[in-house]
Amino acid sequence: MKKILAMLLAMAMAFSLAACGSKDGGKKGADDIPDTMTSQDGKYEVAFVTDVGQLKDKSFNQGTWDGVKLYASEHSLSYKYYQPANGDNATDDDRYNAMKQAAEGGAKVIVCAGFLQEAALAKAAEEFPDAHFVFIDNNHPVVGSDGNPLKNVASVEFQEEQAGYLAGYAVVKEGYTKLGFSGGGGGTNDACCRYGYGYVQGANDAAKELGVQVDMLYSWEYGASYSASSELQSMIAGWYNEGTELVFACGGSMCNSVFAAAAANNALSIGVDVDQSGESNTVMTSAVKGLAEAASLMLGRFYDGKWDEVGGQAVNLGVDDDAVGLPFASSQFEVITEDIYNTLVDGMKTGGSLEVKGEYDTFLAGGETFANVAVNFVK
């Protein structure tokens, strides 16, 4: 089953730049589609329940929402987004209430973003068995109160460590040895942790090849809420002032603080989840995953009458599926060529010689060191 999904996702990723099109009269892109609409019957059959943070976070929420909007618009379906109450302090009850509102508002498919949704989603899926739920960023089947997988829930997760590796490897090869990583979620967000862990591994391998040493500041400070803040911007500005050349901004709207600090200090940054090159000219590259494509793919499984292929299951997508990587065309590379990049990706695929580890617990606990990267955890 994963092979079928992987093939479809690879096809979607191949056309993702076209799907995000311009406003010049061609195929509609996500930016051409309004975030709100009014349905004639007051019902909205495709719904999106956001993760914490803003809808237009230029990252995780927005990337997933773009896929929902694009699919709904292209298939003339009514759509609506719902944000749990209490913002960054949303509880499971807040998330459940947003899903309940979506289901009672006519949603046939509810796309939910973020691993924090699981408890609320399981409750909502049992209470509304006729609604179908797409769970983005979850790596296992969601089970009901009887311990069995809920057939009306389909889960998708990505191997972010692979995208993080590619970013870390590339920037060191480009000559940068004073790096930073600022992650969201306070060290509890699996996706951010995998991005960061892969980033260190990639930087280490590139530094080893070049025979250089890399210094890396690594922090969750002020990033727990995924939001931009003056405190976060000040911290990152301090890093740049002390010699850091480039910071990987990993966690929703907090990227705005990193981009601003980079711009003020004539420095560079790395974006996350989606291609963020259009958000700041400081972005050298972005570690991306196919959020929009995965959301659209799963909606298609429902509307094509093929939900039984994904319901009650979970898929974990990576380079084998062309689901994670770097947006090479928009990256500011001078050393990394497309051939170098493709060779690296091929080596990372199943059967290749390059293994990127995803289990990060020992690393975050300070129990793993790297020969060519000195990681300084900032707390």
Count how many Cα atoms sit within 13 Å of the Cα of residue 293 in the half-sphere of its side chain: 27
Of 203, 190, 185, nearest in space to 356 by CA = 203
Q: What percent of the chain has pLDDT over 70?
A: 93
Sequence-separated (6 or more) residues with CB below 8 Å from residue 105: 43, 44, 47, 80
How far is the C-alpha of 30 from the C-alpha of 61, rounded, in Å?
A: 13
- Of 321, 346, 322, nearest to 2 (Cα)? 321
**pLDDT at residue 222 tops 80:** yes
Task: Please tell me the least confidently modeled range out of 15-29, 179-193, 230-244.
Answer: 15-29
Each residue of 7-23: pLDDT tens digit?
A: 555 545 443 433 333 44
Query: Residue 379's pLDDT is what?
Result: 85
Residues in the chain: 379
Look up tokens 């809920």; give the residue. 150
Cα–Cα distances in Å, from 342 out to 97, 322, 346, 373? 45, 11, 6, 24
Over residues 172-184, mean pLDDT? 97
Strand partners, 351: none
Task: Determine contact, residues 160/289, Cβ cutoff 8 Å.
Answer: yes
Could you tell me the CA-to-CA distances from 85 to 46, 64, 95 in Å, in that order?
A: 20, 19, 8
- The gap from C-alpha 194 to its chain's centroid, in whole angstroms, comes to 11
Question: Which tops the pLDDT comparison, 228 or 96?
Answer: 96
**Residue 157: closest CA among 142, 172, 176, 177:** 142
Q: Where does residue 92 rank: exposed (0-12), middle (13-18), buried (19+ CB within 10 A)?
A: middle
Greatest C-alpha distance within the chain: 65
Q: Which residue has the higher pLDDT, 311 or 28?
A: 311
Amino acid at 362: T
Report pTM. Answer: 0.87
Tell me the per-residue pLDDT of 279-311, one tens digit each, with 9 for 90 and over.
Answer: 999 999 999 999 998 999 899 999 999 999 999
316 vs 238, residue with greater confidence: 238
Contact assessment for residue 222 and residue 261, using Cβ atoms and an 8 Å cutoff: no
Instruction: Copy the structure tokens of residue 214.
Output: 């890399």
Q: Which residues contact 11 (CB under 8 A, 6 or more apart)?
A: none
* Contact between residue 79 and residue 143 where contact means Cβ atoms under 8 Å apart: no
**Tokens 């862990």 identify what position?**
197
Q: CA-CA distance, 249 to 166, in Å (whole number)?
A: 15
